[in-house]
Amino acid sequence: MAPLQKRALTGLVFGVVWVVAIIVVFIIKGGVGTFNEDLGFRLIVNGLWIGGLIFYGILMLTLRKQSQVDERDRLILGRAPVVQLWAVIFSLVIWMIVLTESYWDQGIPPIFMYLVFMSTLIVSAVAQSIGILIGYWRIGRND
């Protein structure tokens, strides 16, 4: 397994744990309504969110500096943003439909702007790992 592939797999496993941890915190602490009012809750979520993004940054950026990444890895890395783009678009479409249908009459609470932004960065980070793994899978299929 190539070093970049190992990191992408680590990123995917971490991403699943990361997303589950944020969802569990949301459920335990009382959901979006509490998130809007409770500063402590927001700090916990912000810590998880920013901590996760820093982890992803370290995971991917430190590898690019080393000689462990060659032209084949860079080719795969260069194609991963396609998966990121589709994942982000898909998540935004889901947000748009759910929020529009849930708050059709009242108007969407501003706190959701924050949550949409947060989830978009999470989706983008996790989708990069998925995009890299798909790249290795496709290049190994010999098509």
Partner 1 sequence: MTKVKNRIRRLRFDHDEMTQEELASRAGCTRQTIIALEQVKYVPSITLAFQIARAFGVTLEDVFQNEETR
What are the residues binding partner 1 (CB under 8 A)? 1-3, 5, 67-73, 139-142
Q: Give the shortest CB-140-to-partner 1 separation in angstroms.
A: 6
Measured on CA atoms in the order 34, 35, 39, 45, is the torsion positive or negative? Answer: positive
For the bound state, the minimum distance from the C-beta of residue 135 to partner 1, rounded and expressed in Å, comes to 12
Q: At closest approach, how far in Å is the CB of 72 from partner 1? A: 5
Query: Would you state the structure tokens that stand for residue 124, as one six-digit string?
Result: 């983008």
- Nearer CB in complex with partner 1: 71/105: 71
Residue closer to partner 1, measured from CB, 9 or 48:
9
Residue 111 CA to residue 3 CA, distance in Å, equals 39
Question: Taking the CB of residue 40, how many other CB atoms lie within 10 A of it?
Answer: 9
How far apart are CB 71 and partner 1 at their closest, in Å? 5
Cβ–Cβ < 8 Å for 79, 73: no
Collect all residues with Cβ–Cβ distance below 8 Å to 97 and sequence separation of at least 6.
Answer: none
Which is closer to partner 1, CB of 11 or CB of 52? 11
